[in-house]
Amino acid sequence: MTSRYGEAMVEPSAFPEPILHVDMDAFFVEVERLQDATLQGVPVVVGGLGNRGVVAAASYEARAYGVHSAMPVVQARRLCPHARFVPPDHRRYRAVSEEVFAIFRSFTPRVEGLSVDEAFLDVSGLRRHYPSSAAVGIQVRASIQDQLSLPASVGVATNKFLAKLASEEAKPDGLLTVAAGRELDFLHPLEVRRMWGVGEATYATLEGLGVNTIGDLARVPQSTLEQRLGRSLGQHLYRLALGEDDRPVEPDGETKSVSSEQTFESDLTAPDVIETELLRQCERVGSRLRRAGLAGRTVTVKLRYSDFTTITRSHSFASGVDVTHDIYEAVRDLVGRVDLGRAVRLLGVGVTSLESAGGPRQLGLKRPAAWDDVSAAVDEVRARFGDGAVAPARLVPPPSSSE
């Protein structure tokens, strides 16, 4: 059936490359550098300092000397004696990792962690908000840089196998898209050792077959691979060598909350400045909710005064909200009941009791339905031009009077 408005009703087409692999660059080293600026630009080795210690991470400057993770620290010292050696602080890495994953989940709930510093993201649900999956990747990298000052690399591809290889190729601090239809141009020149999850014995067998690159592997008859490696592994590797991988991204867990929090360099004292900051945070939270296709029933505002007393106040709706205006109305009601006459050092806005945004809409909200369209339009512009591109009029500084 054709509609007169057929064109306008067509869904945006699916992203041809819907899978992102995001991998932090030299994660432990970069977290240490946040604490100690003298570690910038010099070889750094994070590892146990005893004689039996092992390298947990090496900076790119140290890798240039042949140092790599899992190497004995003693050997790293021989290769790069002038490196700075730092003991690992795994508690801190886990805490920063949680922040990194919170950023991933602010884009999509479909996040599958592989380790403390890397994950797959299935961004196929974001096609209404971004022109391409690479645009999502660019925004993920920018958010990690803006919010945590840490570098990350992103691979964008049709499947997990290719996305992971692409992020390795993008390193450090880059993004690489393997365009749909061009998979083999990217894949076949790579060394077969780069294939993920293949053990030493398998490599030895493949080398025995004269296989050096993934392209070589693709030219070995499938029956030979099945015979030498067993049916299941042989089939699996043969399909990977053709760039085929249908393993889905398996999300780790549900997103429990979406929030934004900021500590200010100098305390805020003027109530209207505080309200403007709260609106900015509502805008950020609303945008993340909509991007992830989520809505939440409970809105919480948090204020910490200059003497570190902290108060939180919550409001619950009968059904989920995801429109900035609704979140802000709740926040304004809540702060209307607290003391804004004192200096504030931290403000936060959070939305919890999350549900899929497809559920029943909150009824009886005192706002025109047009706010939904405004939010959608804002998301669209943000997706194309970045988070700074649009803001509610209140957040735009007034033009200075020139008369």
Active-site positions read 118
Contact segment (CB under 5 A) with Mg ion among 23-31, 142-150, 317-325, 394-402 equals: 23-31
Nearer to Mg ion, 117 or 183 (CB): 117
Closest separation in Å from C-beta 87 to Mg ion: 19
Pick from 17, 19, 70, 8: which is nearest to 45 by CA? 70
Residue number with CB closer to Mg ion (176 or 292): 176
CB count in 10 Å sphere of residue 320: 23
Residue 79 CB, nearest distance to Mg ion (Å)?
Answer: 21
Specify the residue, 10 or 70, whose C-beta has the smaller distance to Mg ion. 70
When the beta carbons of 67 and 268 are compared against Mg ion, the nearer one is 67
Stretch that binds Mg ion, among 19-27, 51-59, 96-104, 233-241 (CB under 5 A): 19-27
Least separation, in Å, of the C-beta of 25 and Mg ion?
A: 6
Please identify, among the stretches 20-28, 37-45, 64-72, 73-81, the one whose residues bind Mg ion according to the rule CB under 5 A. 20-28
Residue 173 vs 355, nearer CB to Mg ion = 173
Q: Which stretch binds Mg ion (CB under 5 A): 21-29, 64-72, 86-94, 229-237?
A: 21-29
Least Å from the CB of residue 105 to Mg ion: 18
Q: Which residues, 6+ apart, have CB-to-CB distance to 306 below 8 Å? A: 267, 342, 343, 344, 345
Among the listed residues 15, 17, 20, 23, the single contact to Mg ion using CB under 5 A: 23
Closer by beta carbon to Mg ion, 23 or else 112: 23
Contact mark string toward Mg ion, 108..147, x via CB under 5 A: ---------x------------------------------
- Are residues 287 and 379 in contact, defined by beta-carbon separation less than 8 angstroms? yes
Given a contact cutoff of 8 angstroms between Cβ atoms, the answer to whether 119 and 82 are in contact is: no
The Cα 245–Cα 220 span in angstroms is 18
Least distance between Mg ion and beta carbon 24 (Å): 5
Query: What are the two backbone dihedrals, phi and then psi, of residue 213, each rounded to the nearest 5 degrees?
Result: -105, 170
CB of 82 to Mg ion, least distance (A): 24
Q: How far is the CB of 96 from Mg ion (least distance, A)?
A: 12
Q: What angle do CA 305, 307, 313 make, to 5 degrees?
A: 35
Is residue 30 near Mg ion by the rule CB under 5 A? no
**Cβ atoms 52, 43 nearer than 8 A:** no
The site for Mg ion (CB under 5 A) is made up of 23-24, 117
